[in-house]
Amino acid sequence: MGASDVLTALKQRADSSGVTTGEVLTFSDVETPHALETITKRKPSVIALERAFAATPRGAALITRIKADPSLTTAEIRVMAHDSDFTRVVPRTPVGGGGAAVATATAPLDQRGTRRAPRVKMKGKVDAIIDGKPATVANLSTVGAQVVSATVLKPNQKIKMTLTDDTAKIPFSADVAWSSFEIPPGSPPRYRAGITFVDADPVEVDAFCGRHKA
């Protein structure tokens, strides 16, 4: 599920790390519906997603679809980088044998066949840091968030964001999709903004969601 130059490198990484055994199927980013159909039919033991693709709305939606399919509960979903040793496993029960579906992506989003990852409402006060200043997360998904901040946030603004709790700190780049200025009764003025993640690790963000969802 990605550009051909990245796809070749990812397959080499998967081969060298021992992720792939038996038959290996690869898909470009424009073949997401076909890839999902093939995964559902063939039920591979390992589904490898390139890290950049997994961080996109389409990649996150694919992960969500796979995790929600009861016939794929034993498939290992592995997020890998094509140009480094980075590798993470989305919580699954791995099994031996079988083939691996290898996917990569750097191309623009194509929404056909997938939906954006669902937003999860946060329980209590969930902290974030935006450009070094404190903010609060109202809701969160693997591809974006709604935040409240005393610091100015403007549409199309590029930011550095960190999700933080007692378990982990998750830093990444992000863009401000929209923002509004609020003056709540009895409270200081604030900005409410929708944030789109650029390179957040979807596995770490998904785990963060699980720890804080209402």
The predicted-structure confidence for 76-113, as pLDDT tens digits, reads as follows 888 888 777 777 887 654 333 444 444 433 333 333 33
Does 65 have pLDDT greater than 90?
Answer: no
Indicate the pLDDT class of residue 149, thresholds 50, 70 and 90.
Answer: very high
Mean pLDDT is lowest, of 114-118, 119-123, 181-185, 190-194, for: 114-118
Cβ atoms of residues 101 and 78 within 8 Å: no
- pLDDT class for 114, splitting at 50, 70, 90? very low
Amino acid at 207: A
User: DSSP character for 205?
Assistant: H
pLDDT band at 119 (very low <50, low <70, confident <90, very high): confident
User: In which element (H, E) is residue 24 found?
Assistant: strand 24-27
Measured CA to CA, the distance from residue 99 to residue 87 in angstroms comes to: 18
As a whole number, the mean pLDDT across the chain is 78
pTM of the model: 0.49
Residue 8 or residue 107, greater confidence: 8
Element (H, E) at 209: helix 202-212
If you average pLDDT over residues 37-59, what whole number do you get? 81
Q: What share of the chain is helix, strand, coil (3-state, %, to 5)?
A: 25, 35, 40
pLDDT, position 3: 52
- Number of helices (H) and strands (E) in the chain: give both, helices first: 5, 12
- Classified as helix, coil or strand, 32 is helix
Mean pLDDT on 26-42: 77
For the chain, domains (ranges, CATH) are 4-103 (no CATH), 120-212 (2.40.10.220)
Cα–Cα distance between 105 and 7 in angstroms, integer?
8
